[in-house]
Amino acid sequence: MTHFHVIAGSAETPVYPVVRKIRIADIGHALAAGFDDFRAMPSHLLFLALIYLVIGVLLYPSTSGDNALPLLFPILSGYALIGPFVAIGLYQVSRNRELGLSHGWRDAFDVLRSPAMPSILAVGFVLMVIFLLWLTTAQALYQSSFGVWAPQSYSHFLHALVATQMGHRLLLLGGGIGFIYAVVAFSIGVISFPLMLDRDVGAAVAIWTSVKAVLINPLVMALWGLIVAVALALGVLMLLVGLAIVTPILGHATWRLYRRVIAPACADSSAGLP
């Protein structure tokens, strides 16, 4: 019964939220509201520590042995794959502020008491599997192009990428396959985490609803994904310090976008697939 709860939620039959059609203007409203949430509860210092912890954990297995330079970009870009899970506390803060409840940074940990936490962890596990598959794929692509060659420095590696045919092949294949992984992870996570926090619908219903939201709003969601990718890339370029500001704003904005995409609970469908 516990396993069914994780998959399908607390209701006797799965409840499928109603997904609304949104416009590009809704992204602007979500970003503005997300920035307002960040100003009301600045969390950049907390996220600076969290980001370095997460990146450090991800880097350790790859740097404990061979030269990890070829995997540095896949690891950093993989942060975007697990970003929706990392930002779960931000959704809680925005939700509390929306409801007029306490919304200090300590309230972000209220998510740990959520009845949907097992479902949240289940979807987080799915994203982590996708991230590990991406790393495995990236390593296989590198070895198929350069073999066991280990670059001596960042500049040496970058030169090999941009000035050799093998480097061009790696960039082309890596970019294309990485894009596929990113689309899959984005479709699974963009709505599912805030939905599970807001309503105990279960992992399967949350993933289904998130994918449906992307399919119903392909252009708007593609633009949102592009904004997230560019913002995270700029954060990484600023020696990861920028991520401490970018991540909270995007997290709060994701909650606000979720509110625009998913109709109120009274409009939900409870019989069969919507």
Give CA–CA dist 220/257, Å, rounded. Answer: 11
CA distances from 87 to 38, 101, 125, 129, 263 (A): 13, 19, 15, 18, 22
Q: What angle do CA 215, 200, 98 make, to 5 degrees?
A: 85
Task: Yes or no: say if 133 and 181 are a contact pair by the CB < 8 Å rule.
Answer: yes
Over the chain (274 residues), the average pLDDT of each successive run of 10 is 53 79 96 90 60 55 55 78 84 85 69 85 93 90 79 74 85 91 95 92 93 97 94 79 81 94 72 49
What tokens were used for 240?
A: 């990861």
Amino acid 56: pLDDT:
55
Nearest CA to 103 among 115, 89, 113? 89
> Is the whole-model pTM more than 0.95?
no
Nearest CA to 206 among 258, 247, 129? 258
Alpha carbons within 13 A on the beta-carbon side of 86: 25
Amino acid 254: pLDDT:
95
What tokens were used for 52?
A: 């370095």
Question: Phi and psi of 29, rounded to 5°?
Answer: -65, -40
Task: Yes or no: say if 94 and 37 are a contact pair by the CB < 8 Å rule.
Answer: yes
Nearest-10 crossing angle of helices 203-216, 218-237: 100
Amino acid 239: pLDDT:
65
What tokens were used for 228?
A: 């997230």
Give CA–CA dist 35/42, Å, rounded. Answer: 10
Amino acid 58: pLDDT:
54
Amino acid 59: pLDDT:
53
Residues forming beta bridges with residue 19, ordered by sequence position: 262
Instruction: Specify the residue for token string 């979807």.
Output: 123
Amino acid 15: pLDDT:
78
